[in-house]
Structure 1
Amino acid sequence: MKFLLGIDLGGSSVKAVAVTPDGTTLAKFNESFHTARRLQFVDTVVEIASRTARQLGSEPARIGLSAPGLASQDGQSIAFMPGRLDGLVDLRWAKPLNREDIVPVVNDAQAALLGEVWLGAARGLTNVILLTLGTGVGGAAMVDGRLLRGHTGKAGHLGHVTLDMDGPLDVCNMPGSLEVQIGNCTIGERGKGRFATTHELIEAVRKGDVQAVEVWHRSLKALAVAIGGFTNVLDPEAVIIGGGIAAYKCLELIRRLRERGVGVRCVLTRGGAQFVTPLSVAALSEDKVYTDLFSLTDESEMGHIRLSREADLLVVAPASADFIA
């Protein structure tokens, strides 16, 4: 079977998807690695590629890789990535992956936007901004149907746009950037050491912690201000927000709906459970959380039918590219 393998190298995990040339998903993978162990991310990428070949019975026809940082001019490595993933810069992936062909490498946010244009939320659009909220803040833009690359390829790095000229420097030495304001990499500083992750911050917000609410609302305000500025410059048809932090905002959505007296019954996918726990969702919704469509307990009451009959409105949040496609 002919298939393609796309690999996304993140700050602490590797995600991969095997697809047919028309975009049909055959397999997905998501593996974490220890950031303190130098080059363990390479071993994780190689293991996922090997596992894919074993599972699908053949080697992929082509492999492509996305990663944070600035891609090289020849598109075969990351040329600039300060402060994270030691050993990534100038690494050409054909050798560790034992490939005779070239393994193209592209910035992760630019790859995400191209994926959205191909099969996702930006399908059919020609002017789009994408922001990925995770360890850092990635960005990409398509203008009049063309991916914005610029002279050196760094165009669209929207996470490093300054919002506070007196703020702390980010990994690109930009003061008070959007990444500094909302990226998971600065949650310790923004929360004055109280929160290790954005998840912990959101849990504190849910409990009404005054400091946590102030930190979270300030982060969201920074995001809103940045998006407003981007739209004035690029005039997009759509702004797409993705990444790990996007899932946490679903908890805020549930809380706001409950404040307005709306009954919320949640179905948590396996992907969503990588970011938020069933316990957190249940506490906010004040109702049972469904994680299995045909569980033995729920099916004694025809649970999958009740879910469809009792809902007045269906909300999918965040809506992934897979779902939209």
Structure 2
Amino acid sequence: MPRPDPRSSHALAGGPGDPLVDTHGRVHRDLRISLTDRCSLRCTYCMPEQGNEWLARSSILSTDEIVRIATVAAADGITTFRLTGGEPLLRTDIGDVVRRLAAITAPDGRPVDIAMTTNGIRLRELLPELTDAGLRRLNISIDTLRRARFHELTRRDRLDDVLDGIAAAAASALRPLKLNAVAMRDVNDDELVDLVEFAVAHDAQMRFIEQMPLDAGHTWDRARMVTQDEILGTLSARWSLTPVPGRGGAPAARWLLDGGPHTVGVIASVTAPFCGDCDRLRLTADGQLRNCLFSTTEYDLLPILRRAGSGDGEEEIDRMLRSCVHGKLPGHAINDPSFLQPARGMNAIGG
């Protein structure tokens, strides 16, 4: 996969402390940080059950390295750090990661926002530590409420652990609480209403995600994807749906359920791309910057971080961030015949 040299980029916008603005005028405020490519589940749309090639442990960013990158990013206007994986709660130092990131402040002195996407399996156990450390928001993945189906989808019998994690999150002060489900034809598309009702009962927002070509086995089939229109059509038979304005850079479009206050969201990356308002960058667990979930280009920070005796590392991290932003395309081109699926699966990219 190509790894550009930031020194070869021309006309990078700004310097240390300036906003991260791409050539299409998008200001970047969100950095998704993958903490590991490993996961406690084996979801069929994400990775094979066996034979996975994990990142070398020596290549995984340390907490010090993550904080170093995040500190530069915050100075450049990044206000939200979302911790992802794989499964971020598998990281043994997860509490320390959250605590140290939460201590970072923006140039105006305000604290950054720390969020996390998790499968919820270790959440009940770790939630008190995470909230004390400064975690503010949670997204929890739950594709089905049926035990046999959960086992078939994830190849693990852990539904009770996920439900316990959701219950713990619902009892906490973390809001908004969001539940994520990938909508799949003839798999869980008969549970869309059930999942929304479950979310409402837990004071959470259900968000359905169109299945994307991000599986490690490259077996994605557009015909298996349930579209946004289909999702809304199913839900509108149960609720009156009213669009919520002011989406901004958020990946999910939202609708009020029967006038509110509860909402449902849809992330329609395939049929209704929102690339024009995208404000996100991604950092993989092994130190690669990505400017799009579907990018085939990465920007390698590891040599900068691990070069002995470097006195200008922070400026180089800044230049790499700007090079990554500068190289961002207008959109992901999923619907273009020339589209190439990323070599990495979702677990290795980080959600």
- TM norm structure 1: 0.31
Structure of higher CA gyration radius: 1
Judging by fraction of residues, say which structure has more helix.
1
- TM norm structure 2: 0.29
For CA contacts below 8 A with separation 6 or more, give which structure has more relative contact order.
2
